[in-house]
Amino acid sequence: MELTKEAIEQVGEMKRDHYGMIINGERVDSSSKDTFETYNPATGEVIATVAKASEEDAEKAVQAARAAFDHGKWRKYPVGKRARVLNNIASIMRSRFKELVEMEVLNSGKSVGAAQVQINQSIEDFEFYAGAIVGHRGEVNNMPYGFFNYTHKEPVGVCAQIIPWNYPMMMAAWKIAPAIAAGCSVVIKPASLTPITALLLNEICHEAGVPEGVVNTIPGSGSVVGDYLVQHEDINKVAFTGSTPTGKDIMEKASQTLKRVTLELGGKSPNIVFEDADLEAAVPGSLFGIFFNTGQSCEARSRMFVHESIYDEFMEQFIDKTEKLQSGDPFNKGTHLGSIISQEQLDIIDGYVQSAVQDGATIATGGKQIYPEGFEDGYWYAPTVITDVTPDMKAVQEEIFGPVVVVEKFTDEKDVIKRANDTKYGLGSAIWTTNQGRATRVAHQIQAGIVMVNSPFSAFPGTPFGGYKQSGFGRELTVETLDLYMEDKSVLSYYGSKPLNPFNV
């Protein structure tokens, strides 16, 4: 489907000129009547206005979520009933798949292929947690004679969930699905750049049978609404995906009320290509690892290490394929890379590239803003490969968050493991080798929460996703994620025939 005026008009009833926030099951405007414009970054055009939440609105959302948790029926539903509602959410999403994909493309500028993958996984997330919660239970523990102990899992309470702009729908699903499966109520703060699909997901939750107040969505400023939620005494848990500096700030502020916190933060993930790698797999896999979602991924494999004995052959193929990647019309199925999210992010990316050049690196391909035909007013950057880098360069050490990869040679296994771990981040990593012993050995030494072996894919529902070091803590997308939204209560009973009198008085 081509991104034309006619195509946009066909998005359907989900496309509106204005989107209100959702509090206690109702679409409402800001108490201040403030709005902001949200854009299509592929064209630079305004696509809608959105209600801009204030602290007063955030308070209303928190109180709605608190009332739904303390006095509502959702947490009291049998897990099987909650599971059916989650499956209903997935079913409605699937019936509206085309519309959700189109809205995600319009509001984020990503390619339609990337959006299809991400909306599909969002659906699968709800299906996964519908199944996972049914079997998630406490334990009976061995006790001395006369005593009986079991653990009872209870929802933690009201959760603030702060969503990034790079995967708007998918990150919302990653957080909402386990939280409501566990019986919690949530307040969603979507990214101001990409609020639309989170609002649509909230509406779908209500249509599927989630009671009023259990899911609330309030677009607005992170420094205003986000801070208010993080510090609110009625918020029991904060889940955040975004930058490491913001994550540190959230952790500090949440500590004042000792909230539970889950942080999925930045990354500078290594991609290691050993001399015995199958290049037919390693070259396209490495290409996908950095350029999927236009490189705007926290686990993008943006530091590539190639063994010196295959470096020239690998790089010739890699650069050739990089130059064949198509940027442009996001709705064209042949497009590989969508747009950059904003002019600000475009400037950040180019700043890192120029700093690498100033530090002595070489631009093997790309390294500039581009202007695809028909989309000249959007935000676009060429897929970029930088060589002749050194470990101390800013472009090597810091997260760029764009379609830019830095490439280094290495000589042996011990050397590359040390260099791969020479970063403050530890989210993703990839290993390309046909030696299974080496793959396992290296995987166990890489300081990262995710290791991909001979595969470019980092996550499916059921696989733990999270980082080491300054990439955050906590694991999403897995059964154990439910425990991030639950309390373990120990119930200890005495069933002996004689009364207990430990003081013997």
26 among known catalytic residues: no
Q: Label residues 207-219 b or e (16+ Cβ within 10 Å = b).
A: ebbbbbbbbbbbb
Report how far residue 299's alpha carbon sits from residue 280's, in angstroms, rounded to the nearest whole number. 22
Residue 469 Cα distances to 190, 196, 289, 348, 358, angstroms: 25, 32, 21, 24, 29
Contact 178, 305 (CB under 8 A): no
Q: What SS3 state is found at 98?
A: helix
Report how far residue 21's alpha carbon sits from residue 343's, in angstroms, rounded to the nearest whole number. 26
Residue 145 Cα distances to 158, 191, 421, 497, 500, angstroms: 39, 55, 50, 11, 13
Residue 397 Cα distances to 9, 53, 266, 362, 466, angstroms: 44, 36, 12, 16, 20
Q: Label residues 66-79 b or e (16+ Cβ within 10 Å = b).
A: bebbeebebbebeb
Q: What SS3 state is found at 354?
A: helix
Q: Label residues 433-457 b or e (16+ Cβ within 10 Å = b).
A: beeeeebeebeeebbbbbbbebebe
For the chain, how big is the Rg over CA atoms in Å?
24
Any idea which residue has 């000589």 for tokens? 411
Among the listed residues 127, 264, 399, 476, the single catalytic one is 264
Report how far residue 387's alpha carbon sits from residue 405's, in angstroms, rounded to the nearest whole number. 9
Comparing CA positions, the residue from 414, 416, 340, 412 lying closest to residue 371 is 340
Q: Label residues 281-308 b or e (16+ Cβ within 10 Å = b).
A: ebbebbbebbbbbbbbbbbbbbbbbbbe
| Dihedral angle computed from the Cα positions of residues 130, 134, 138 and 139, in that order, rounded to the nearest 10 degrees | -130
Task: Summarize the chain as % helix, strand, coil (round to 5).
Answer: 40, 20, 40
Query: Which residues are identified as catalytic?
Result: 264
